[in-house]
Amino acid sequence: MSTSVLDTSTGSTGPSAAGRHLRDGAFGNARNLVCRECGATQELGPFYACQECFGPLEIAYDYPSITRAEIEAGPKNIWRYQALLPVPTDIASSPNMEPGFTRLLKADNLGRALGMKNLWVKDDSGNPTHSFKDRVVAVALSAARELGMTVFACPSTGNLANAVAAAGARAGMKTVVFIPADLERAKVLTSAVYTDSLVAVNGNYDDVNRLASEIAGEEEGWAFVNVNVRPYYAEGSKTLAYEVAEQLGWRLPQQVVVPVASGAQLTKIDKGFTELARLGLVEETPYKVYGAQATGCSPVSAAFKSGHDVVRPVRPDTIAKSLAIGNPADGPYVLDVTRRTGGAVEDVTDEEVRDGIQLLARTEGIFAETAGGVTIATLKKLVETGQLDPDAETVVFNTGDGLKTLDAIADRVGPAATIDPSYAAFTATGLA
């Protein structure tokens, strides 16, 4: 494939992208960009908004003929699904973080605690920077390279900052990361260790995102992974769906519970399941998709419960900062997916989030960050309110490591006792 990048003032990255010719196979089996609202198509390039209606763009494919055996023969990372992503066939040879193929744990202890018979946890804390963001960043990095971009950047609530900073360092690209100034200290440190170009912005994520969009429109060659190369970036989330299906023995779960920030992860998991069925890699069986939000930032949950199609922006106020996006770009599409599949969107308080973190840790030995606490607490609420079938096979997604958000539980956990070093003192604790 050889194509030229459009010079457009709508959703483009600026003049540097215009006229650049892409190498053959630069985006694998990706055919073009297509508008999710009006269906208009557009050439592949650093564009994220439709020229016709300003709707969001996503990747369309000439789907290949591919077998399970061919996938299983691939590397133990997301590049085993290279044929289904907008990346070149030689992607595995480029310096990258090689994320993915994280563990899928049978969660029988948690299942018993919640009265569920068949529960799994997809634990993405095992990725290189300990969150699912390594998946999406890896695909965005490939796009940035192929489009000739020179600066790798993002606005972030923390996990994405970690992933972009690390991937940019590994790729040898200039990297600039923008974060809200009040971000958790651990997430600041775990980004700053990779780059000296970490910028703290006085404002919330939505303020940071607006600044990034302005810079993307003004500066040449900047690839903001979740702004102007967002269509490529978002495709990385599909690999969660691919891995779950493969790890279950090439079948789809009956229910999934997914945390919602921008909402892109939830919609792309749905897209991944749909693609696998379309390609004949799994049997097309029904599944329900559930979204999880913190009550302090729950615009999608509020819209779902009220029956509205419009997601009204909110000002976030929650300990789950990685989900604190008050104006989620994919919010309306989350409503579409959850309603179409028979799922729901629910929210939980910060205290319930802390309960969820401890419940997962004390039943399955998985220490989740606050987003994982949101997901587990929401799962519990969905079961208790009868919205989710406790007997159906269910997968919940833990998207990040609890070591990044220690403050969330710092005042809840600690030594059961402080004693003198004697057997008598120990027996007095009642722990013997």
Query: Which pLDDT value is given to residue 291?
Result: 98
Structure confidence at residue 426 (pLDDT) = 94
Look at residue 1 in the predicted model and tell me its pLDDT.
32
Task: Give ∠ CA 142-148-151 in degrees, rounded to 5.
Answer: 80
Q: What is the DSSP string of 362-398?
A: HHH---B-HHHHHHHHHHHHHHHTTSS-TTS-EEEEE
pLDDT at 321: 92
Q: pLDDT value at position 19?
A: 53
Q: Which residues contact 158 (CB under 8 A, 6 or more apart)?
A: 179, 183, 184, 187, 188, 191, 321, 322, 404
Q: What is the pTM of this model?
A: 0.93
Quickly count: other Cβ atoms within 10 Å of residue 2's Cβ.
Answer: 9
CB-CB contact of 119 with 110 (8 Å): yes
Torsion sign (Cα): 382, 384, 389, 393: positive
- Quote the pLDDT of residue 24: 86
The DSSP code sequence of 400-426 is BBGGGGGGGTTTT---S----SSHHHH
Predicted confidence at residue 3, as pLDDT, reads: 32
Q: What is the pLDDT of residues 255-284, one digit of tens each?
A: 999 999 999 999 999 999 999 999 999 999
The token pair that represents 198 in the structure block: 């970490």
Bridging pattern class, strands 104-106 and 344-348: unpaired
Give the separation between CA 112 and CA 109, rounded to whole angstroms: 5
What are the tokens at 282?
A: 């799994």
Q: Given this model, what pLDDT does residue 35 score?
A: 97
Task: Give me the residues of the chain with pLDDT under 50, please.
Answer: 1-18
